[in-house]
């Protein structure tokens, strides 16, 4: 993280531009992904109210006294207004909004209702959901975000390479997941970004299968869907492997899925919508007779959150946005037999879609 927090400050300024266009007087951001996005400090406040206030002229953080020093050390916001246990932070926040005559207040949607209710009880302000504004900003990644996502992917792929050497007939799904997590630490990944999926044999037909004590056997597919965090940013990658070799049907399914994944990535251009990307992959798989076996969206945005805008779904008519980061992960699932999923995290830049991943996508035998 840059000691100057230049990227975080710039994000606040961009938010102010959007606020001005919509005549918003104050934007309230609780701890969570957007708090980290704007301040550089990743924290939780639990039941204690912690809010970043962003107005046209200032920014400050209302926080419990016990967080004051941390906020000065780990964020760029100099104005921290602490409250103690004998004070009412909701009243303090409400008094500020009233004294500043904030008539239109945007609220981050992650603010818990137990904070929202007392904060705006008998309030004269009009409140609106602010998620559309933060989503618009977060979709276009800046250089710091791109660098962190790239590093998270590189390090997690290196961990997978180490883990492959451990995979063999008789090893369980849980053991593979545990080994991958150990290798994450060796490669500098801070934490897993989500619960790793290791699905072998018939379990690989379940897209979000939880690893079990099932032992891996020869000739069957093994889906590994994994991701780690680096400087607060997530990676998300999926590869499908086979022990020794693949059965003919699953080998065919693998090549169809790879064709859909690679051809979609190459086809995206400034005139493509996120729905159009989903359609490209779905049409390829359908032409090969497996359309009913592709049972989820093509992909999702990635950044601070593992799932964020943009979503590659049939009703998303938005055109590809410059510097948006998202996954392309078609899957084909045959109940009782197995499945294949190949997933890259990609970014759209200068009219083309490029992958952060370098791990091979050709069929792999262990």
> Distance between CA 118 and CA 121 in Å, rounded?
5
Which domain-ending residue is among 138, 165, 199?
138
Range 180-207 average pLDDT = 98
Regarding predicted confidence, which is higher, 193 or 124? 193
Which domain-ending residue is among 138, 166, 185?
138
Residue 128 shares a structural domain with residue 246? no
Range 172-196 average pLDDT = 98
Q: Indicate if the pLDDT at residue 223 is higher than 50.
A: yes
Percent of the chain with pLDDT over 90: 96
pLDDT (0 to 100) of residue 121: 87
> Distance between CA 159 and CA 187 in Å, rounded?
6
Residue 1's nearest CA partner among 236, 230, 290 is 230
Which domain-ending residue is among 119, 138, 157?
138
Q: Indicate if the pLDDT at residue 328 is higher than 80.
A: yes
Q: Per-residue pLDDT tens for 253-289?
A: 999 999 999 999 999 999 999 999 999 999 999 999 9
Residue 193 shares a structural domain with residue 128? no
Q: Indicate if the pLDDT at residue 193 is higher than 90.
A: yes
Residue 133 shares a structural domain with residue 177? no
Ranges of beta strands (E only) in 111-207 are: 126-129, 197-200
Distances (CA, A) of 117 to 27, 91, 147, 240, 294: 17, 11, 39, 47, 42
Residue 174 shares a structural domain with residue 230? yes
Q: Is residue 192 part of a domain?
A: yes
| Residues contacting 3, CB < 8 A, separation 6+ | none
**What CATH number corresponds to the domain at position 127?**
3.40.350.10
Residue 178 shares a structural domain with residue 115? no
First-to-last alpha carbon distance for the chain, in angstroms, is: 38
Residue 252 shares a structural domain with residue 132? no
Q: Is residue 1 part of a domain?
A: no
Residue 39: which domain range? 6-138
Residue 161 shares a structural domain with residue 194? yes
Residue 176 shares a structural domain with residue 134? no
Q: Per-residue pLDDT tens for 86-145?
A: 999 999 999 999 999 999 999 999 999 999 999 998 888 899 999 999 999 999 999 999
Within 10 angstroms of residue 44's Cβ, the number of other Cβ atoms is 10
Range 286-303 average pLDDT = 98
Q: Indicate if the pLDDT at residue 3 is higher than 80.
A: no
Residue 279 shares a structural domain with residue 323? yes
Handedness of CA 198, 202, 208, 213 (dihedral sign): negative
Place of tokens 């998303």: 316
Domains of the chain: total = 2
Q: Indicate if the pLDDT at residue 44 is higher than 90.
A: no
pLDDT (0 to 100) of residue 89: 96
Residue 117's nearest CA partner among 94, 96, 97, 98 is 94
> Distance between CA 27 and CA 98 in Å, rounded?
14
pTM of the model: 0.95
**What CATH number corresponds to the domain at position 256?**
3.90.230.10
The two three-digit tokens of residue 144, written as one number: 């710091």
Q: Indicate if the pLDDT at residue 319 is higher than 70.
A: yes
């Amino acid at each position: 993280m840059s000691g100057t927090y230049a990227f975080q400050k710039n994000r606040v300024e961009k938010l102010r531009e959007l606020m001005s266009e919509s005549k918003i007087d104050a934007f309230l951001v609780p701890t969570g992904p957007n708090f980290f996005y704007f301040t550089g400090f990743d924290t939780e406040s639990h039941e204690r109210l912690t809010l970043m206030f962003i107005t046209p002229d200032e920014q400050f953080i209302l926080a419990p006294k016990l967080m004051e020093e941390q906020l000065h050390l780990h964020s760029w916001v100099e104005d921290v207004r602490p409250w103690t246990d004998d004070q009412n932070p909701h009243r303090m926040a409400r008094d500020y909004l009233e004294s500043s005559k904030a008539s239109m207040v945007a609220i981050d949607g992650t603010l818990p209702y137990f904070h929202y209710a007392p904060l705006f009880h008998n309030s004269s302000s009009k409140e609106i959901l602010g998620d559309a504004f933060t989503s618009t900003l977060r979709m276009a990644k800046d250089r710091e975000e791109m660098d962190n996502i790239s590093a998270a992917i590189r390090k997690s792929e290196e961990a997978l390479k180490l883990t492959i050497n451990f995979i063999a007939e008789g090893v369980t799904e849980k053991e593979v997941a545990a080994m991958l997590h150990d290798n994450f630490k060796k490669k500098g990944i801070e934490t897993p970004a989500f619960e790793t999926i290791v699905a072998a044999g018939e379990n690989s037909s379940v897209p979000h299968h939880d690893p079990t004590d099932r032992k891996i056997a020869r000739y069957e597919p093994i889906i590994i869907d994994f991701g780690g965090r680096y400087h607060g940013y997530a990676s998300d990658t999926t590869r499908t492997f086979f022990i020794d070799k693949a059965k003919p049907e699953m080998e065919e399914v693998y090549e169809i899925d790879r064709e859909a994944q690679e051809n979609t990535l190459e086809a995206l251009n400034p005139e493509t919508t996120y729905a159009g990307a989903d359609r490209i992959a779905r049409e390829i798989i359908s032409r090969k007779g497996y359309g009913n076996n592709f049972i989820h969206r093509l992909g999702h945005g990635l950044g601070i959150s593992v799932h964020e805008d943009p979503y590659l779904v049939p009703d998303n008519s938005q055109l590809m946005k410059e510097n948006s980061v998202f996954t392309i992960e078609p899957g084909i699932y045959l109940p009782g037999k197995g499945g294949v999923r190949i997933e890259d995290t990609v970014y759209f830049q200068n009219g083309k879609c490029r992958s952060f991943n370098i791990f091979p996508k050709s069929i792999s035998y262990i």
